[in-house]
Chain A
Amino acid sequence: MAENIAEKLAEKQREISIAEFFEKNRHILGFDSSTRSLITSVKEAVDNALDACEESGVLPDILIEVHKVDKDNYRVVVEDNGPGIVKEQIPRVFGKLLYGSRFHALKQSRGQQGIGISAVVLYAQLTSGRPTAVYSKTGKNKEAHYYELVINTKTNEPEILMEKIVPWDRPHGTRIEVEMEGTYVRARKQSIYGYAKSTAIVNPHARLTLIEPTGDTQVFERVTEVLPVEPCEILPHPEGIELGTLIKMLRYTERRRLTSFLTNEFARIGHKTAKEICTKAGVDPDVNPSDLSRDQAKRLLEAFKTVKIIAPSTECLSPITEELIRKGLEKEYDVDFIATTTRDASVHTGNPFIVEAGIAYGGSLPKEEKTDLLRFANRVPLLYQQGGCASTHAVEKINWRNYELLQPGGSGIPQGPVVILTHVASTNVPFTSESKEAIADIPEIVDEIELAVRDVARGLKNYLAKQKVLAKRKEKEEIIERVLPKLAEKVSEVAGGPQPDIQPIVAKIMGNVLVQKTAEQNDNTSIVTIRIKNFSESQKEFKLHQVSAVEIEDPTPKPRVSSFDGQFDNIWKVSIKPNAEKKVRYTVKSEQSPGANPLVEGILAEMVTGADALPKKRVSE
Chain B
Amino acid sequence: MSVEEELLKAKKEKDSVTKQRLLQIIKTIYDQFTNEQIPQLLIPTRTKSNIAFNEESEVWVYGERESARSCKTVRGAYSLLKSSYTIEFLNKQLDENRSSTLRELYYISEGWKLAKFREQPESDRMIEDLEIITELQRENFHVRPEENGATIFGPIRIKENVERRGKVSERVIHCIDDVGEGGYQIPYNVDNLDFVEHDAKFIIAIETGGMRDRLIENGFDTDYDAIIVHLKGQPARSTRRLLKRMNERLKLPVVVFTDGDPWSYRIFASVAYGSIKSAHMSEYMATPAAQFIGVRPSDIVNYDLPTDKLSDQDVRALQSELTDPRFCTDFWKDEINLQLELKKKSEQQAFASRGLDYVTDVYLPERLTSLGII
B88 contacts the other chain (CB 8 A) = yes
Q: Does B115 contact A (CB under 8 A)?
A: yes
Q: Kindly state whether residue B322 has any CB partner on chain A within 8 Å.
A: no
B residues in contact with A478, CB < 8 Å: 74
A483 with B26: CB separation less than 8 A: no
Q: Which of B28-36, B134-142, B312-320 contacts A (4 or more CB under 8 A)?
A: B28-36
- Quick one: which of B30, B39, B71, B73 contacts A492, CB cutoff 8 A? B30
A613 at the interface (CB under 8 A from B): no
CB nearest to A475 among chain B residues = B74
Chain A binder among B79-87, B182-190, B333-341, B351-359? B79-87
For residue B14, CB closer than 8 A to chain A, the reply is no
Shortest beta-carbon distance, B297 to chain A, in Å? 32
Whether the Cβ atoms of B38 and A505 lie closer than 8 Å is: yes
* B71 & A483 in contact (Cβ 8 Å cutoff): yes
**Which residues of B in the span 19-72 have a Cβ within 8 Å of any Cβ on A?**
23, 26-27, 29-30, 33-34, 36-39, 71-72
CB pair A494 B74 closer than 8 Å:
no
- Interface assignment of B78: CB less than 8 Å from any CB of chain A: yes
A487 interface contact, C-beta 8 A:
yes
In this assembly, does B193 line the interface, its C-beta being within 8 Å of a C-beta of chain A? no
Q: Determine the distance from Cα of A497 to Cα of B26 in the docked complex, in whole angstroms.
A: 11
Return chain A residues, CB-CB under 8 Å to B37.
505
A470 within 8 A of B: no
Determine the chain A residues whose CB is within 8 A of the CB of B29 once the complex forms.
487, 491
Q: Is the interface of A mostly helix, strand, loop or mixed?
A: helix
Interface string of B78-102 (1 = CB under 8 A from A): 1011001101100100000000000
Task: Tell me how many residues of B have a C-beta within 8 Å of chain A.
Answer: 26
Residues in A whose Cβ lies below 8 Å from that of B85: 490
**A-B interface contact total, Cβ < 8 Å:** 69
Shortest distance from the beta carbon of B72 to any chain A beta carbon, whole Å: 6
Assembly CA distance A495 to B87 (angstroms): 11
Given contacts A490-B84, A500-B33, A505-B38, contact A484 B27 (CB under 8 A): no
Rounded to whole angstroms, the CA-CA distance of A228 and B30 in the bound complex is: 69
Which residues of the other chain, B, contact A502 by a CB distance below 8 angstroms? 33
Q: Is B362 an interface residue (CB 8 A)?
A: no
Counting CB contacts under 8 A, is B8 at the interface?
A: no
**Which residues of A397-449 are within 8 A (CB) of B?**
none
Q: Does A482 contact B (CB under 8 A)?
A: yes
Does A603 reach chain B (CB closer than 8 Å)?
no
Q: Is the CB of B71 within 8 A of A509?
A: yes
B30 and A495 contacting across the interface, CB-CB below 8 Å: yes
A490 touches B88 (CB 8 A): yes
Pair B71/A484 contact, Cβ less than 8 Å = yes
Given the known interface contacts A502-B33, A505-B71, the answer about A483 and B84 at a Cβ–Cβ threshold of 8 Å is no
CB of A494 within 8 A of CB of B33, answer no
Which of chain A's residues have a CB closer than 8 A to the CB of B23? 494-495
Question: What separation, in Å, do the CA atoms of A509 and B76 have in the docked complex?
Answer: 13
Question: Is A487 a contact of B36 with CB atoms below 8 Å?
Answer: no
Of the listed residues B27, B30, B37, B115, the one surrounded by the most CB atoms of chain A closer than 10 A to its CB is B30
Q: Considering the chains assembled together, what is the distance between the CA atoms of A280 and B80 in angstroms? A: 84
> Nearest chain-B residue to A507 (Cβ)?
B36
Tell me, in angstroms, the Cα distance from A267 to B85 when the chains sit together.
81
Given contacts A490-B85, A491-B26, A495-B27, contact A479 B74 (CB under 8 A): yes
Q: How far is the CA of A146 from the CA of B29 in the complex (A)?
A: 88
| A182 adjacent to chain B (CB < 8 Å) | no
Whether A508 pairs with B36 at a CB distance below 8 angstroms is yes
User: Of all chain B residues, which has the CB nearest A479?
Assistant: B77
A483 near B27: Cβ-Cβ < 8 Å = no
B71 touches A486 (CB 8 A): no
Q: With A490-B84, A509-B38 in contact, is A497–B30 under 8 Å at CB?
A: yes
Q: In the complex the two chains form, what is the Cα distance from A620 to B115 in whole Å?
A: 48
Contact B74 A490 (CB under 8 A): no
Please give, as numbers and ranges, the residues of chain B lying within 8 Å of A475 by CB-CB distance.
73-74
User: With an 8 A cutoff between CB atoms, is B114 at the interface?
Assistant: yes
Q: How far is the CA of A497 from the CA of B28 in the complex (A)?
A: 13
Chain A residue numbers with a CB within 8 Å of B73 are 475, 479
Chain B residue numbers with a CB within 8 Å of A504 are: 36
Q: Are B77 and A487 in contact, with the CB atoms below 8 A?
A: yes
Indicate if A23 sits at the interface (CB-CB under 8 A). no
CB distance from B81 to the nearest CB of A (A): 5
A483 touching B30 in the complex, CB below 8 Å, given contacts A490-B85, A491-B84: no
Q: Quick check: is A229 within 8 A (CB to CB) of the other chain?
A: no
- A291 close to B (CB within 8 Å): no
Tell me the nearest residue of chain A to B34, going by C-beta: A500
Q: Which of A459-511 contact B (CB under 8 A)?
A: 475, 478-479, 482-484, 486-488, 490-495, 497, 500, 502, 504-505, 508-509
For A483, list chain B residues within 8 Å (CB).
71, 74, 77-78, 80-81, 114
Docked complex: B218-260 residues within 8 A CB-CB of A:
none
B30 and A500 contact, CB distance less than 8 A: yes
The residue in chain B whose Cβ has the minimal distance to the Cβ of A533 is: B36
Given contacts A478-B74, A509-B71, contact A494 B81 (CB under 8 A): no
CA distance A500 to B39 in the complex (A): 12
- Using known A-B contacts A475-B74, A482-B114, A483-B77, determine if residue A494 contacts B88 with beta carbons closer than 8 Å: yes
Q: A483-B114, A500-B34 are in contact. Are A494 and B72 (CB under 8 A)?
A: no
Interface residues of A in 15-33 (CB under 8 A from B): none
> What's the nearest-Cβ distance from chain A to residue B76, in Å?
9
- Given the complex, which residues of B lie within 8 Å of A486, measured CB to CB? 81, 114-115
B17 to chain A, nearest CB (A): 17
- B78's nearest neighbour on chain A, judged by CB, is A483
A232 and B289 CA atoms in complex are apart in Å by 88
Docked complex Cα distance between A491 and B32 (Å): 11
Instruction: Report yes or no: B87 in contact with A508, Cβ–Cβ below 8 A.
Output: no
On chain A, the residues within 8 Å of B26 by CB distance are: 491, 494-495
Bound Cα distance A169, B344 (Å): 69
Q: Which residues of B contact A500 (CB under 8 A)?
A: 30, 33-34
Chain A residues, Cβ within 8 Å of B91: 494
Q: A482-B114, A492-B30 are in contact. Are A487 and B71 (CB under 8 A)?
A: yes
Provide the bound-state CA to CA distance between A505 and B33, in Å.
7
Query: From residue A480, how far is it (CB to closest CB) to chain B in Å?
Result: 9
Q: Give the CA-CA distance A502 to B39 in the complex, in Å.
A: 11
Are B84 and A487 within 8 A (Cβ)? yes
Distance in Å: Cβ of B153 to nearest Cβ of chain A:
46
Residues of B within 8 A of A495 (CB): 23, 26-27, 30
Per the bound structure, the CA–CA distance linking A530 and B284 in Å amounts to: 54
Chain B nearest Cβ from A511, distance in angstroms: 11
- Tell me the nearest residue of chain A to B113, going by C-beta: A486
Alpha-carbon separation in the docked complex, A479 to B72 (Å): 8
Contact (Cβ within 8 A) A491 B30: yes
Q: Separation in Å of the B91 CB from the closest CB of chain A?
A: 7
Q: How far is the CB of A470 from chain B (nearest CB, A)?
A: 14
Cα–Cα, bound, A495→B81 (Å): 14
> Once the chains are docked, how many angstroms separate the CA of A508 from the CA of B30?
16
Told that A483-B77, A505-B39 touch, could you supply 5 new A-B pairs with CB distance under 8 A?
A479-B73, A483-B74, A490-B88, A493-B88, A494-B91
- A–B complex contacts, Cβ < 8 Å, 28 sampled: A478-B74, A479-B72, A479-B73, A479-B77, A482-B114, A483-B114, A484-B77, A486-B81, A486-B114, A487-B39, A487-B71, A487-B77, A490-B81, A490-B85, A491-B29, A491-B33, A491-B84, A492-B30, A494-B23, A494-B84, A494-B87, A494-B91, A495-B27, A500-B34, A504-B36, A505-B37, A505-B39, A508-B38
Q: Top 3 closest A-B pairs, CB basis?
A: A500-B33, A483-B77, A504-B36
